[in-house]
Structure 1
């Protein structure tokens, strides 16, 4: 991009270089905010444990995808500078530096804060040397029964080449000596993935599984002297590469690629800090790991397994239960009748997913008046009632069309399995659009009313049709029988299943053809309103903000005096507060009990606010390489509700993180007098409205 733009038909001043932050470091800073929640002593203890696990899991995915992508660009000679102006090699060096810092901080939080607090609460993660005789005897029996039969030690010598180390597996590097010859040898043991990360002892005490294995190494290497052992772990490139234009069977090609995922190039080697230089040299040499790819941290490794501890039934150490409520209008129990009376906006998890979306599809499956169901599925749960309803509808003879996005990262195998079950039931299954991921969240039910007229009942959402994540992901969904929405969804499904090239819709904005241009046109409209002295303001809530063209449009809006409020959960490369460029832009982030996941866009529109919600983040992949959909919210009360939420997030009395121009995020939890700021998620009622501010 040239850095120049056209605003309302006139050439705008060139925007300065250096106006973008690094996307990768921005994502790491998001994960740092997750870590800060684990460090927060005001959080319930087991929730702090869960945030430690989330941090570790997030970092795994970051290396498997983002770091792997940068390394692939270097290897293939496509290493061009990022929008921030940094070369991929520089970015990798910075990622290594920040990741090392965060991983050490993560380990310190576990050892210095979380583990002692757990012990005080009667929950102990013990190393083998801390176990008493009774626990050791119990682990001896457990090892013989459940561990030994599935272990395979791999020796490394001229007859036994170094074994392949699969991604994210936990391993032991073992050095043994033959007492007869005095020769030493190296061996590797993989910790079976079927075993829990932490083995439960009596009560709420646990021991790392690798400690149990390590204590029994003399049995595995009978007649040898075990000199040392060290845990290590490899992270590999897990991105998939399928040329959709060259394959005749996308499903088969994807399944083949999934098998190869386990054998991707190394991107990180984690080792315990106690490892000896000799053993580390062997691992680096055999695995091809460079110095900057090695991360030495205090054990135990793979703290993503702490979710087992976080799930303990200790309600006094967890968030208090929250029971979602039914949205107003559903108390009569007739969902179709409620949607007939007017559009219905639902907010999960505060309002029930089960009694809205699940019920919507369950009723559609069994209602004899329903003749057709069309649905997109990007991610869903392993025992999905959504898919079961679609299967029941197909078996009942209804026309069922399901677009299953089998390229949904890390859910590919699950989605392929569901797609085949749907096909076996008689549903028409489409595997996405060539060259694009279908990320939009759409459901269309065609139903015959008492007069024999076909009516379309529509749902457009911001989140996946996944009952499991719906309990912890914050999302919106809009139900409608508006004929314009019905026409839009029919047109969009025809595009997804056929060869339609329709790009213009009535109440939808759809990527990749019209979403970026639609949003930038509305941003520029706010600029024109400000120039005319009419009300102008922009409020946006997204998970990520990295698209350069949209960001430049927001910079132009700020330069024109338009207030811009951005609520970004994750990575944001826009620099707020730069004089002459972005002094009218504020960026906030909120993390907590629920994962903020909805995307909402509000434009003041000269005093008649225009509000949109949907599936799209402001990233090039969403705007250029995915099918995304935003729906314009028509009901004034729904618009007001969404604007109220956006304003509450930006309010100085709300606890949040604030982004500075240099890329640092600062957490604000107390006011100038030391009083705690409001927790937005705790303040949200299930009956649609925010609780009023105290005082």
Structure 2
């Protein structure tokens, strides 16, 4: 028996010690986000942005992940995760890890970023520190614009505790009746229809005797210092700010819903108020009596309360990124038109649909790989769909819409195509979390115009990013495809790194035809020519690709895997990666977010190395490279290696077969692995260590290098 076989036999690769907890790993990802705000090399307004993203991420984490764990505890679930924790143990571990991070974030803002803002003439003042002229202006503003929208709600035997919206800022106000001496409690919601930070007019932009870039105050302080107008005749004893977070995941029993769209609409109407409260944020000054009342009324425990020393809801710091101060931001980046599409003249292309210089002719020459946001989404993927809608030779357009945006030409192009007589089918995923309302709007608009709208399969989310164009070319029918890693959303395409393949390969066209038939009809397709499809074949195909590398090593050859994705959670995939490491396969993983695999453990994962790249763009592309003894295979697609992607979602991953494009993808992976500026190394104890250039070593930032390369292309 060989040594590797002896080790494999002796070690139980399912042992909980070889797995990190999913929720704690996510918190470590958010810590890396916070570090971008802590890092003095990051421009000031970008630091505020990352502090805001940290808070926004936490909101969603509580609304979904913590809410699920609390539901499991309430239901008496005791099943342990692969790392060996029960739901209750996970909640306790989350709180233990998270509380110091929240303290660090608020200390950073109050003691570092706020003074740095002031140094650059950006003053977010406390109400008590403003001048009498500024106070007078804000009092007038309160009377004219704020007071009319406020609704104080009393709490007493005749006034039950009010319903409060998810993520709302509120003032707990204690007033005293001077006639009876009785103290009473009321709640005042801070209006979210007005800006969180109220800017003072230019003539009042004076502080410390000089003019400044921006001066303002938080709206809740304006409300708090004018409470007498809401409670005339009463004495304001005290007020305390608090914020609550509710469970926000909607629950629809799909196979019992006669109309899925209607069922989701009904759930959405109550999401902001009906979900159970999962977190209460307060300031330390809140007295125990008020604190206890809130805890009891919201059915919380002390473990659900987070004390915030400073401003609540730092998510609103994102608004400062709109200030016209380019010197305090990242250098602007304008996505570049892909080289093979630069010769296409937009005006003539639209006017002359027989123009041989159209996007279809470019795709017929060779497969085309597009890399966003380095390359323009608008000039490539969006133009692909826009031109297909206008081209009289195009017979049909089919695509999936997981998340899109209101200002996209894509939806209007699909409508125009349907109105011109083309066959148009759009699969709109109504269950895309927090985009449900947006997707319902587009689904209804598309249906009214004659587009065949499908809402996906029961029990599965359709997460794949695919477009199929059917075009008449002479006597033949040719199918053009786009298979990508990111959503068809021009806004996120400027912020997320994603890869897309444009091709007219017949086998890919045939595969997408079969996949759309699976999505829209009653097809039971279980095999595809080229595509790896979830939940049908992807898991088995990925395992087979990893096992092939194992066999190469066992036969004395080289085994090598490089995989880039958002998250690695699936225990079965992790276990087979451990087997590969034991067999000698060299594995590099580029995992932006959650990684439940424990790397660099002797005799288990010593050949596995994991990095996370965090930067100005959100790393979102999925690229999978298998060495295959020199016959390199590279895949891209929409799926992470998570149970939900492999078992509970419709996903598609495609091979990239053009040798030149394979080299391009390998280069992208190599650049990421060599990063010494934005990369963090995951250690076997679960900690992440940020890489730094060695002495006299040049700085290698993945995203900066890719921007420079794109400009030179």
**TM-score, with length taken from structure 1:** 0.96
Q: How does 1:319-398 map to 2 (within 5 A)?
A: 319-333=330-344, 334-398=358-422
Residue pair 1:645, 1:690 contacting (<8 A) in 2 also: no
2:707 is aligned to 685
Matches of 1:153 and 1:399, distance apart in 2? 54
Q: How does 1:250-649 map to 2 (within 5 A)?
A: 250-262=260-272, 263-333=274-344, 334-449=358-473, 451-649=474-672
Please say if 1:129 is aligned against 2:128: yes
Please say if 1:225 is aligned against 2:224: no
- Secondary structure at the aligned position of 1:213 is classed as helix
Matches of 2:124 and 2:456, distance apart in 1? 45
Residue pair 1:655, 1:677 contacting (<8 A) in 2 also: no
- Secondary structure at the aligned position of 1:643 is classed as helix
> Deviation string for 1:271-304 (max 9, x for gaps)?
0122122211121121122011000011210110
Give the C-alpha shift of residue 329 in structure 1.
Answer: 1.3
Residue pair 1:683, 1:690 contacting (<8 A) in 2 also: no
Change (3 A) 1:405 1:87: same
1:214 is aligned to 224
- Secondary structure at the aligned position of 1:622 is classed as helix
1:54 is aligned to 53
- Shifted more, 114-123 versus 279-288: the winner is 279-288
> Considering only aligned residues, what root-mean-square deviation do their CA atoms show, in Å?
1.6
Matches of 2:696 and 2:584, distance apart in 1? 33
Residue pair 1:324, 1:686 contacting (<8 A) in 2 also: no
Give the C-alpha shift of residue 151 in structure 1.
Answer: 0.5
Give the C-alpha shift of residue 258 in structure 1.
Answer: 1.1
Residue pair 1:534, 1:607 contacting (<8 A) in 2 also: no
Matches of 1:688 and 1:311, distance apart in 2? 27
> Deviation string for 1:635-676 (max 9, x for gaps)?
1111111112112212264541010111111111232x2756
Give the C-alpha shift of residue 686 in structure 1.
Answer: 6.5
Please say if 1:27 is aligned against 2:26: yes
Residue pair 2:401, 2:429 contacting (<8 A) in 1 also: yes
Residue pair 1:245, 1:434 contacting (<8 A) in 2 also: yes
Residue pair 2:675, 2:702 contacting (<8 A) in 1 also: no
> Deviation string for 1:571-591 (max 9, x for gaps)?
101000100000000000011
Residue pair 1:536, 1:607 contacting (<8 A) in 2 also: no
Give the C-alpha shift of residue 82 in structure 1.
Answer: 0.9
Matches of 2:711 and 2:619, distance apart in 1? 17
Matches of 1:654 and 1:289, distance apart in 2? 42
Residue pair 2:483, 2:502 contacting (<8 A) in 1 also: yes
Give the C-alpha shift of residue 540 in structure 1.
Answer: 0.3
> Deviation string for 1:242-271 (max 9, x for gaps)?
111111110111111112322111110000
> Deviation string for 1:521-562 (max 9, x for gaps)?
100100000111222100000100000010001100000011
Give the C-alpha shift of residue 328 in structure 1.
Answer: 2.0
Change (3 A) 1:687 1:456: farther
Residue pair 1:430, 1:497 contacting (<8 A) in 2 also: yes
Residue pair 2:257, 2:263 contacting (<8 A) in 1 also: yes
Q: How does 1:182-197 map to 2 (within 5 A)?
A: 182-197=181-196
2:248 is aligned to 238
- Secondary structure at the aligned position of 1:112 is classed as helix
- Secondary structure at the aligned position of 2:448 is classed as helix
Residue pair 1:614, 1:630 contacting (<8 A) in 2 also: yes
- Secondary structure at the aligned position of 2:254 is classed as coil
Give the C-alpha shift of residue 371 in structure 1.
Answer: 1.1
Matches of 1:12 and 1:482, distance apart in 2? 47
- Secondary structure at the aligned position of 1:273 is classed as coil
- Shifted more, 473-482 versus 529-538: the winner is 529-538
Matches of 2:56 and 2:678, distance apart in 1? 25
> Deviation string for 1:104-152 (max 9, x for gaps)?
1110110111111111111111111011122212212221222111100
Matches of 2:708 and 2:340, distance apart in 1? 13
1:66 is aligned to 65
Change (3 A) 1:690 1:631: farther
- Shifted more, 646-655 versus 631-640: the winner is 646-655
Give the C-alpha shift of residue 98 in structure 1.
Answer: 1.5
Matches of 1:192 and 1:674, distance apart in 2? 53
Give the C-alpha shift of residue 172 in structure 1.
Answer: 0.5
- Shifted more, 475-484 versus 364-373: the winner is 364-373
Matches of 2:578 and 2:334, distance apart in 1? 42
- Shifted more, 322-331 versus 224-233: the winner is 322-331
Give the C-alpha shift of residue 342 in structure 1.
Answer: 0.8
Matches of 1:321 and 1:228, distance apart in 2? 46
Matches of 2:576 and 2:270, distance apart in 1? 41
Please say if 1:171 is aligned against 2:181: no
Residue pair 1:139, 1:212 contacting (<8 A) in 2 also: yes
2:44 is aligned to 45
- Secondary structure at the aligned position of 1:642 is classed as helix
Change (3 A) 1:154 1:120: same
Give the C-alpha shift of residue 54 in structure 1.
Answer: 0.3
Residue pair 2:675, 2:700 contacting (<8 A) in 1 also: no
> Deviation string for 1:147-181 (max 9, x for gaps)?
11110000111111111122101101001111111
> Could you tell me which of 245, 248, 254 is aligned with 2:258?
248
Residue pair 1:172, 1:189 contacting (<8 A) in 2 also: yes
> Deviation string for 1:389-420 (max 9, x for gaps)?
11111111111100000000000000000000
**TM-score, with length taken from structure 2:** 0.94
Residue pair 2:425, 2:452 contacting (<8 A) in 1 also: yes
Number of aligned residue pairs: 682
